[in-house]
Structure 1
Amino acid sequence: MYSFKKCVPLLLGAALALLQGFAQAAAYVDVLDLPARPSVLAVRSPLLDTTRAGDRLVAVGQRGHILYSDDAGQQWQQAAVPVSADLNAVYFSSSMKGWAVGSDGVVLHSSDAGATWQKQLDGRQIGALLVKHYTALAQSEPANEQWPLLVAEGQRLTEEGADKPLLDVWFANDNLGYVVGVFNLILRTEDGGKHWTPFQDRTDNPQGFHLNAVSATGDGLYIAGEQGLLLKWNDARQHFMALQTPYQGSFFGVIGKPGEVLVYGLRGHVLRSTDGGVSWTLLNSGLQVSITAATLGEDGHFRLFTQAGHLLLSPDHGTQLQLLAQQNQSPVAGAVQAADGSLIVVGSRGARVLSKE
């Protein structure tokens, strides 16, 4: 048995640990309320997406980091961001106005080309939005069995808290846009993000698969998801309709131009359509690694990138894929062509200039 003298230090230690725990709990600040910390290493920290805001480059990543460059990626500055949540995607509808989305259902908006950001929405509000929206529909259409299910979904989101990430964002203009995320989470705004409308009832996704990407091509607006889910907006029906594809694995992105669209995803799969998604051709990438990013160059060629850093070129408008040799290959999560023609990629090692066309 321990003597009293031996027990005292143990008791004191336990008391101090308990007090320290209380102090830490009291000092806890949610990442949704904690501004991103400035860091000279931000440009080398994991970044998950990049885009253009006019001639400016903007990149987003972990811990709320948002960077911008005015010299084609040679130097980067860190933006003022009100959250520390990981950011998954960024999109600019014009040279000044853009949106970023990420973990915990966060939506950020910039009106100064990405230099500063304001929070428009987070996961603490999304559940209540669903409950309010679908309760109103249930009251107006009591015979529709879909509405109570979506009310229950909103209640579940409210109870579980802000833990559902948004994975992508796209805007048609400075007002109309969409954000998409896990478990069929999709919201639409018509006033630049001041108000958001749940759109779960507007997708052919009864199993609630994750919505990984939303993107417009030359012939329509597409959503790419898991387990072969590919949706296309039908304006007449005001609904995202399911498309049939020859692959049942997850898709990570869609890219296209008038008369041609590519969808890409797991294990090097790339599908091509020239009839608006009615039929698809499987392109041979020669790879078994997931394709995670793509960009359309000024030369009209698609360039696709993998999670291992491979670069695939479609030199004949998408009918073939050519693997290009790369030096210092590293994982790529996002890619964009700078105003001077340079290819800029972001990933686990931050941002880097890949090449110049």
Structure 2
Amino acid sequence: MCSYKKYQQLALGILIALIQGISQASGYIDVLDLPASPSQLAASSPLSGMARAGDRLIAVGQRGHILYSDDSGKHWQQAAVPVSADLIAVNFPSALQGWAVGNDGVVLHSDDAGVTWHKQLDGRQIGELLVKHYSALASAEPGNEQWPTWVAEGQRLTEQGADKPLLDVWFANDRQGFVVGVFNLILRTEDGGRSWTPLQDRTDNPQGLHLNAIASSGDALYIAGEQGLLLKWDETGQRFAAVPTPYQGSFFGVVGQPGEVVVYGLRGNVLRSTDGGRNWTKLESDQPVSITAGLIDDHGNYRLFTQGGQMLVSQGASARLTLAQQTGTAPVTGAIRAADGTLVLAGSRGVRTLSAVKTSNP
């Protein structure tokens, strides 16, 4: 009898699954409205960005997957996420409060160290935000010709729908932060994401180039973008001002520490400045492969990761990047240093770790 009951339960489960599948197939559900599905393979699925929430590690990736680890990346649990849109970047300014961004203009927020998330914004609202914000400025300054241009941009975004990715996020604290994305898309919040203000008019980016990354170095805040675009926040002028660089290809990231900043990007190009971006030194290597992630290890060395998975290390003031030995390589899109010094990497094959012993010095 027990076996028969189990058979009945199994048959009922299969029937329910078929009914649910037919129901979903009969009506399209937008990824912005469809919660991420639990998956035992999430930790080995494509992941893009990483962050530290205190001692906890957070990783984000495709289909709305967000994972967290409390043992330096050895084991991972999947968070509850209200969307299935691909996620690209994540940032935690404190141990509890964090934000993640990705495709379709989605902005997610967690206030419990990444265990659960809720949506604060998506691409269906961004165009309307631009229209409302710049229409108000146009009414206040009817002679200013730039405001109607930005109103038209908001109308265009609204008509095109929620297809514009946000590529990175950075928060100074639990209230003040920025999100950046394609075609000069940039928004600021002063209240933890409850409201957002467009800042398209406050960037030195007349071509509307993609804003690929935003990060701080010491007390300076930078945005890296296409075609050699590098912007630095000017607190006095309340805008992101252009910083000239000797490279005109795309930058994919910024990493730094007090007194210096490093930007990296296409074809292995890496530049370092020790004077706030006035002068730059190229860090040479024998790897002409795009740099897609970077961090500073517990010895103060820069560790940069290529699209092919190689790890390059710059020690001290050296202008040379050294190829570090690894037992295996895989494409890297995100990297973070765990509390115990372990390096944890995210990429197309999920997450993997490099022990603190192996990476302490090349």
1:182/1:318 Cα in 2 relative to 1: closer, same or farther (>3 Å)?
farther
Verify: 1:137 aligned to 2:140, yes or no: no
Equivalent residue of 1:351, what SS? strand
**Matching residue of 1:210:** 210
Q: Give 4+ residue runs of structure 1 displaced > 6 Å after superposition.
A: 22-25
d(CA) in 1 for partners of 2:49, 2:177: 18
Rounded to whole Å, the distance in 1 between the matches of 2:179 and 2:140 is: 26
Q: Is the contact made by 1:219 and 1:259 (CA closer than 8 Å) also made in structure 2?
A: no
TM-superposed CA distance for 1:320, in Å, is 2.4
Structure 1, unpaired ranges of 5+ = 1-21
Match of 2:323 in 1: 323
Aligned to 1:107: 107
Root mean square deviation of aligned Cα: 1.2
What residue identity is the alignment partner of 1:195? S
Report the TM-score, using the length of structure 1 for normalisation: 0.92
Residue 314 of structure 2 corresponds to residue 335 of structure 1 = no
Structure 2 match to 1:41? 41
Give yes or no for contact 2:284–2:319 (8 Å, CA) kept in 1. Answer: no
- 1:349 maps to 349
Contact 1:330 1:349 in 2 (8 A): yes
SS of the aligned residue for 1:108 comes to strand
CA distance in 2, matches of 1:117, 1:41: 20
For 1:239, the equivalent position in structure 2 comes to 239
Structure-to-structure mapping, 1:14-163, within 5 angstroms: 26-163=26-163
Shift in Å, 1:285 = 2.1
Deviations 1:182-228 (A, max 9, x none): 00000000000000000000000000000000001014100000010
1:318 is displaced (CA, Å) by 5.2
Shift, 1:315, TM fit: 1.4
Aligned to 1:260: 260
Partner of 2:178: 178
CA–CA separation in structure 1 for the residues paired with 2:197 and 2:268: 35
Deviation digits for residues 217-241 of structure 1 (CA, Å, limit 9, x no counterpart): 0141000000100000011111100
Letter in 2 for 1:116: T
Aligned letter for 2:87? L
1:74-96 Cα deviation digits (max 9, x unpaired): 00000000000000000001000
Alignment match, 1:306: 306
Aligned AA (2:235): D
SS in 1 for 2:267: helix
- Which whole-Å deviations, capped at 9, do the CAs of 1:8-64 have from their partners, x for residues lacking one? xxxxxxxxxxxxxx9877411000000000000000000001111000000000000
1:14 matched to which residue of 2? none
The one-letter code of the counterpart of 2:342 is: S
- % identical equivalent positions: 70
Aligned residues: 336
**Structure 2 segments unaligned to the other structure (5+ residues):** 1-21
Contact 1:110–1:118 (CA under 8 A) maintained in structure 2: yes
SS of match in other structure, 1:331? coil
What is the alpha-carbon distance in structure 2 between the residues aligned to residue 266 and residue 93 of structure 1?
Answer: 28
Does the CA-based 8 Å contact 1:187-1:199 persist in structure 2? yes
Provide TM-score, normalisation by structure 2. Answer: 0.91
